[in-house]
Structures are given as structure tokens and as C-alpha cells.
Chains A and B, each alone.
Chain A
Amino acid sequence: MSELAELPPAPAVAGIKLDGTGTYTISAVENAALCRSTGIEPKLDGTAHPIYYYIATQVAMGQTVAGLCAVCEFDVEDGPMMGSSAARFSRQLRTGATYKVTGEILSLIRKRSRKLGVMDVLTYRLRLHELDGTTVVETDNVWVLPRKELA
């Protein structure tokens, strides 16, 4: 029997929808502040900083960060960590444009690591759509949820 077999299984959350209930508009003023906070000037052609792929999907998905952790039976105070983030753009993001978000949890896999002990690896996918349904970016994010209580 493997070590993992001795652990309780990770919560069965794969497939849970993360569709947003509202919309997200990239403010030109906020985009300018964001660009300057990263050491550049905003573009003058109406395109937004591409990091809005992450910001817009996180803010407008159907859960807060704490709520997404809670779905995984994890207390946000225990310190979720970003593992990786991937994005595939179909169009550039634009200031003044309004978007909506759909998405779902892909997996929650329990693992044992030398550094962190027991952890759950959460993978979820979010898509940013224009209001006519056109997908402009799809992102897969991976978070590491250290399970101190199981270490």
C-alpha cells in the first residue's frame, strides 16, 4: 500500500463550475496605474496590459480566492501558493471592453512532497469572453494547497 493510500482522499471538486455572475470592464485609468506599477507606460492604442488575463478572470470568476479555497476544503489563511499559470490568447485585451468569465475546476490531486509534506494541487481553467461569447483568452492556473493537518 502506498503512503498516499493511508491519507484521506482530496475533496472531489473536479468539474465544479467557476462561471462568473457579473462582468468585468478593464478601466483605462486602472490599466495606466497597473502599467506604471510595473515600470512601463500604458499603450495609447487601447490595448490593455496582457496580465489582465489573470486579473480579470480572478476578479470576475464565480468565487473569491478564499471561496475557491473553501470549495477545496482549504482555509485561505493556511497560505495557498501559486504553482503555475498558463494563458492562450485569441485576441488582445482592450481597455473599456467588458468581459465575462466561465470556467471550472479541472482537478484536485493529493500529493506528498519533501518540502511541503502533504499538499493538494488544484488546477482550474478560466475563460474570458466578450459579451457576444467570443473567447479572448483561456487560462489554466495551478495552486498548491499545503495540508499542514495531514503532514
Chain B
Amino acid sequence: MSYAVGDALPPFTIESISPTAMKEWAVFLADPNPIHLDVEVVKAKGLGDRVINQGPANVAYVMNMLAAAFPNATIEAIESRFLDNVYGGDKVVASGTVRAIDGDRVECEFTLDVEGRGTVNSGTATIRLNA
């Protein structure tokens, strides 16, 4: 797959963020924070009425988008800014744009957007081709 500066990368979509997956991530991260597990805790803290996805999972969706856009390449660097929460049941779309190409390195900008609420994560990544 070949890109030029300004090209959009194919988006990666999760149709509905799964509360069951949040329980798995609590184990992966060894972090039993109840805002990811118990909607009553989320309500009690005034954070909404649905469980909140773990931030690193949101980064993982972006990484999946980059991996699909650049098969057989590797992520050399990534920087993500967390702008808002992703909740159980949200539809999220990771998308990106090629910002620069320097030899075998491609710099991209990306966002993770929630349908109806806008961007919840944004950042940049450097992809190394044929690593």
C-alpha cells in the first residue's frame, strides 16, 4: 500500500464499545477501577450513566487502524492525547492522515471519534516501513 502526503488512511471502526471487554482490560491492566466496571459507581461520581472505557484501549483502536493501513510496518513512535471519555455502547472510529514521508518513515496524524460526540483522542504516530 502506498500513500502520499495528505492521503487519508482507511478508518477502523468499533460498532459498540463492549462493557465485557472493559472487564477483560481491568485484568490486563491489573487495575480494578470501578468506573470501568460498575455503572452505579460512574453515576455516583457524576461521570455519566455508562461505564467508561479504559484509556489505553482507545489507543489500541488507533494502533489497529495504523496496523491495517501499513501492513508489515511497525509503529516507531506514537503520542496520544486523551480529550474525553469513551463509554460503553459508543461507536468509535479511528482515522488518520499522512502528514509527512521521509524515506522509510511515514508521519501520521490521527483521531478517535465517537459518533455524535466528536473527537475523544488525537495524536501523531511515526510508522517505519519494511522494518
Contact = CB atoms under 8 A, between A and B. Distances in A.
Interface residues of A, number: 28
B56 A54 contact: yes
A85 B33 CA distance: 19
Interface stretch (B2-10, B58-66, B97-105): B58-66
B29 A84 contact: no
A54 B24 contact: no
B79 interface: yes
B9 to A, nearest CB: 15
B57 A82 contact: no
A133 interface: no
Interface string A30-63: 1001100111100000000111001100110000
B1 interface: no
Interface stretch (A4-12, A86-94, A122-130): A86-94
Given A50-B63, A58-B30, A38 B57 contact: yes
Interface string B114-131: 000000000100000001
Contact of B78 (A33, A76, A87, A92): A87
Given A84-B80, A89-B77, A54 B59 contact: yes
A79 B45 contact: yes
20 contacts: A37-B24, A38-B60, A49-B60, A50-B67, A50-B74, A51-B59, A51-B63, A54-B59, A55-B56, A58-B31, A65-B33, A76-B33, A79-B45, A84-B123, A85-B59, A86-B78, A87-B78, A87-B79, A88-B77, A89-B76
Interface string B38-72: 00000001010000000111011101100110000
Interface of A: 30, 33-34, 37-40, 49-51, 54-55, 58-59, 64-65, 76, 79, 81-89, 92
B21 A89 contact: no
Contacts of A59: 29-30
Interface secondary structure of B, over-half rule: mixed
Contact of B82 (A50, A51, A82): A82
B111 to A, nearest CB: 14
A23 to B, nearest CB: 14
B93 to A, nearest CB: 12
B74 A65 contact: no
Contact of A34 (B28, B74, B78): B28
A55 B59 CA distance: 11
Contact of B79 (A30, A37, A85): A85
The 9 closest A-B pairs by CB, nearest first: A86-B79, A37-B21, A51-B60, A82-B55, A54-B56, A82-B82, A38-B60, A84-B81, A88-B77
